[in-house]
Structure 1
Amino acid sequence: MSQSTAVDEKKNSVILTSNLFSPHIGGVENSLLYLAKAYQEMGYEPRILTSNIPRAGQAPLALSESVNGTAVERYDAQGKGMAPTVLRSFNNALKLYRRHSETNNARLFVCRYHYNQLIASLAGAKPTVYLVPGVIKFQNAPKYQQSAGLRYRLRWYYHHFMQLAALKRATHVAVFSKNMAAQLRQIGFKGTIHLTKPGVDLERFKPLPSEEKRERRIDLGLTANPNAHVFLCVGRCVGVKGFHLAIDALATGPENGELWIVGDGADMAELKEQSRKLQLEHRIKFIGATQTTETYYSLADTFVHSSLYEPLGQTVLEALASGLPIIAFEADDATGVNTASRDLMNDSHCVFVAEPAPVSLANAMRDMAALDQVSYESRSALNRKHAEATFSWQKLAQDLLAIANVKDLP
């Protein structure tokens, strides 16, 4: 272990943990980074504990390093020897968490994944706040997948029961939405549920004037149409994100509409084939995974939150901060849409579509593309102000300390 990541017992550390972290890309991964920055500013020494699972096709990640000034320590999730990988991973994670919990300098463990919460509790880590990213029974339900065979269903059950165990063993449980709290009750969790809100980086995600964004996206080769109205989807390319609905909607949506999909995932090939069959290849751009999503938020015109299930929606916060008008499906048990969009915004910030149908979505896209400049800029300014007034990583960092009853530093 290098000196930069060795445990310093004289400091008050906050442990932030999940199964994946940078260079992996996602809302949970980003939350660890921003919480670390907030805790540094508050005088704590944040440490991120995670696995060394690499991105597809890459070598395993370093077991220790510094990322943006925060010490990152990884347990070997592949390991060596005769034991099955899952047992090696479990043992390595247990030893890492136990080492940190036994130093007595960790004021708080914030866990963002059920596996890590369970291991941390078994290692004796206290207090822990399990900041639930999603309820697996609903988020990973087979009905939201393009294809879900027996193997998928077995993994779904396995992770569902592991999450139940993590909830039971956590010192405290927190969620980002009333919607998610209700879901925890539905799966039988009877403990106290704390409600808090995430933050968004207002410096990284910010609006650009309409004329400037049109010029820049042409200069960057993102579109050749100066009059294009660019709709943006951001997230994993999996069925639950509803990108297939956005593609179908574009086919009958505004004639000057273009769609950018930022992210990768298991359904990428199917989505590309769908766009080809609809003869939309020239109007759809698959950006792939990127560390600079803010570029595409700043250059798009409207954000399409096409998710069928979303426990919160970090991408919604990024769209609000970027001053993008938003289109989203209305949550409704009858239509199968289960999102927390109403926890984040109201009709002033978003056009809510009554049903997850391409025709309905296409109508909303046409209406948005037809807005005059004054109406568009009014919506944009309102969404940016809402993000500035409502979502703060510093407030979340303070909330988590308060939930765990951690006293302020002397």
Structure 2
Amino acid sequence: MKNVLITSSTYLPNIGGIENSLYYLAKAGTQDNITIVSSDIVNKVEGSSKREELDCRIIRYHVPGNKNKVLKIILNWKNAINAYRQMKKEGCDIVISRYHFSTVLCYLAGLRNINYIVPGVVKYQTTLESANKYSNSIIRNISYYYHYCLQYLAFKVSDRVFVFSDNMEKQVHSVDKSCTVIKTSPGVDSERFYYIEEQSNSLIHLLIVARLTEAKNINIAIESLLYLPANYRLTIVGDGPLLKELQTLSAKLKLEERVKFEGAQAEVVSYYSKAHIFLLPSIYEPFGQTLLESSSCGIPTVAFDSSIVKTATVDILADYAIYAQELSPKSYSEAILKAYELYYKTNKISRKSLRDYIIKKYSWSNLYNKILEVS
């Protein structure tokens, strides 16, 4: 039995692919002594997630709500390092980290055998998410270089660096050419995200599950409704800094009755159960856990071609996704119509074959066992 530390900056009940991955990696390692370490930050979410309780220890270090940003960072570092030092004192064989901050602080606390699973590359992610009217602010620039340098250090101090796509491997090497990268795959809970038969309904439901940021490019998905028949409806599950801006856009285009904003939700299966097509209009998406979830439910995805965006959709779904060839609402609407045609009208692509493809290729147990095998 190994003593395994699984860590990131946040954990459930926060919503996100990283938080989910900590849960499923811990679930896959039930034969080992698992400890999850994260901060005590918990964002407001609607509903509750129906998940099996894990037989593992969870340690949450305190992040102070100090208005002085510098002091807050210092205290955050101090509390996190103390938590990781506790793990070293008790004995830790393997570290699995999903965040650059956690990775560096594990190293500073004296932990070794660190496996860093990269969630995204700051150089690309932060640049795209900051591409708005505030991008020249001093605070944003400081934040960018703080996280960029931390991630560079994370690449240096990790014993192994894991990525989920060829695109992400290239991005890591653009930051650290000497970094040895191991390409692997995450998993999907095929029991929780089960196959859903098509609902007989005159409405065609489009679904987005995402944090509302610049990189998600959700404005194009909303604008694409202008080129779609009136029975196409869009549901957006998620919260973020662009919520009000997207709501304003929807109202300006007179699409309030066709676009629903549901906020952040702990349980998303009910939304997948009503969806015909899953939309991923992102311009940057290092992997996209929601792609696995929706595909496991047999829901086809519409995204942009990899030649015009930095996403891993082609790596994940290959020809099972439908790709818009231009970064425009009209091109995206055409891809949506094509997806409905192929998956629902002509059945040229089987929704069940999409699910089978995903659940055979992606397994949390395989990922966990691979990490332990090479550690």
Normalised TM-score (structure 2): 0.92
Query: What secondary structure is seen at the aligned counterpart in 1 of 2:106?
Result: helix
How far apart, in 2, do the equivalents of 1:143 and 1:296 lie? 26
The residue that corresponds to 1:63 in the other structure is: none
Alpha-carbon RMSD: 2.1
Do 2:155 and 2:176's aligned partners in 1 also have CA atoms closer than 8 Å? Answer: no
Further displaced range: 314-323 or 181-190: 181-190
Q: Which blocks of at least 5 consecutive residues in structure 1 are unaligned?
A: 1-10, 58-65, 215-225, 405-410
In the aligned structure 2, how far is the partner of 1:341 from the partner of 1:164?
25
Select which of 237, 247, 252 maps to 2:227: 252
Structure 1 position 364, deviation (Å): 1.3
Cα pair distance change 1:358/1:371, threshold 3 Å: same
Give the Cα separation in 2 of the matches to 1:296 and 1:172. Answer: 37
Is structure 2 residue 15 aligned with structure 1 residue 25?
A: yes
Say if 2:137 is the partner of 1:137. Answer: no
In 2, the alpha carbon distance for the partners of 1:301 and 1:79 equals: 42
Aligned to 1:101: 88
- Which whole-Å CA distance do the structure 2 matches of 1:87 and 1:93 have between them? 10
Structure 2 counterpart of 1:152: 140
Q: How far apart in 2 are the matches of 1:376 and 1:113?
A: 41
Give the corresponding residue for 1:51: 39
Instruction: Find the structure with the greater CA-based Rg.
Output: 1
Question: For 1:36, which of 21, 26, 36 is the aligned residue?
Answer: 26
Matched, 1:402 2:340: no
Partner of 1:237: 212
Unaligned stretches of 5+ residues in structure 2: 46-51
Task: Flag the 1:306–1:372 CA change in 2: closer, same or farther, 3 A.
Answer: closer
Query: 1:29 and 1:195, CA in 2 relative to 1: closer, same or farther beyond 3 A?
Result: same
Query: Conserved in 2, the CA contact under 8 Å of 1:16 and 1:48?
Result: yes
- Alignment partner of 1:339 is 2:311: yes
Query: How far does residue 119 in structure 1 lie from its aligned partner after superposition?
Result: 0.3
Q: Give yes or no for contact 1:254–1:365 (8 Å, CA) kept in 2.
A: no
Once residues 391 and 235 of structure 1 are traced to their aligned partners in structure 2, the CA distance between those partners, rounded to angstroms, is 20
Cα shift at 1:382: 1.6
Question: How far apart are 1:13 and its partner, in Å?
Answer: 2.1
1:253 deviates by 1.7
Paired with 1:164 and 1:379, the residues of 2 have a C-alpha distance of 43
Q: 1:373 to 1:89 in 2, by over 3 A?
A: closer
Q: Deviations over 1:329-373 (max 9, x none)?
A: 0112xx3x10111111212x1111112211100111223344574
Does the 8 Å contact 2:324/2:334 carry over to 1?
A: no
Whole-Å Cα distance in 2 between the matches of residues 56 and 321 of structure 1? Answer: 27
- Say whether 1:176 aligns with 2:148: no
5 Å-filtered alignment, 1:112-127, equals 112-127=98-113
Question: Is the 2:238–2:262 Cα contact (8 Å) retained in structure 1?
Answer: yes
Look up the equivalent residue of 1:131 and give its one-letter code.
I
Deviations 1:376-409 (A, max 9, x none): 48431121111121000000101111231xxxxx
Q: Name the residue aligned to 1:407.
A: none
Instruction: Give 1:308's aligned amino acid.
Output: I
* Alignment match, 1:162: 150
Aligned pairs for 1:343-382 (under 5 A) are: 343-347=315-319, 349-371=320-342, 373=344, 375-376=346-347, 378-382=349-353
Deviations 1:65-95 (A, max 9, x none): x953332101111189x99121111111111
Q: CA deviation at 1:143?
A: 6.4
Q: CA deviation at 1:255?
A: 2.7
Q: Structure 2 counterpart of 1:73, which letter?
A: I
Partner of 1:85: 72
What secondary structure does 1:401 align onto?
Answer: helix
For the structure 1 residues 261 and 376, does the alpha-carbon distance in structure 2 shift closer, same or farther, using more than 3 Å as the test? farther
Query: Which amino acid counterpart does residue 117 of structure 1 have in structure 2?
Result: T
SS in 2 for 1:203: coil
**CA 1:202–1:377: 2 relative to 1, 3 Å:** farther
Match of residue 210 from structure 1 = 198
Number of residue-to-residue matches in the alignment: 366
Mapped contact 2:128–2:284 kept (Cα < 8 A): no
Structure 2: how far apart are the matches of 1:326 and 1:261? 15
